[in-house]
Amino acid sequence: MKNIAAMLIEPGKEPELICIEPTGKRIRELVGGPAEFTWPIGDGICVAVSETGKLDGLPLNRSVRDSDGKILDIYAGNMLLMGDHSDDEFDSLTAEDVILAAECFGRPETWDAEKIFSEFGCESDSSCP
């Protein structure tokens, strides 16, 4: 298997471009456990995260938002972004992929309970609509 250009995003840190061999073992090492794969910003960019990251209490990382800015989800733990331009395996991120990923996930986000509740229109955990 050949190495690919990928993006590693750790909680609270700037994204880092890395070169990896996209094996299941290496992906698990980078995300901290069994991987869950999502495509929140287009078909050509796959985001791998730990499928049990939230349950395991990993630090919250970046949010996924809709076109109106409403939070759809918050990833926990490390995020690994890889290209998904073919049907059979992950490949390198393109220059366009890197630009899009940086626009969506480039800025570290900080999270606390108050911020999370306010993002979802709540004053506290007991007053959510």
Rounded to whole angstroms, the Cα distance separating 122 from 115 reads 10
The CA R_g of the chain, rounded to the nearest whole Å, is 15
Distance CA 69, CA 38 (A): 19
Each residue's pLDDT tens digit, 16-28:
999 999 999 999 9
pLDDT in tens, 43-86: 899 999 999 999 999 999 999 988 888 888 999 999 999 999 87
Percent of the chain with pLDDT over 70: 92
Contact 30, 19 (CB under 8 A): no
State residue 102 phi and psi, 5-degree precision. Answer: -65, -35
Looking at per-residue confidence, does 1 or 3 come out higher? 3
Q: Tell me, what's the pLDDT at 67? A: 87
Across 23-38, average pLDDT: 96
Q: How far apart (Å, rounded) are the C-alpha atoms in residues 34 and 51?
A: 6
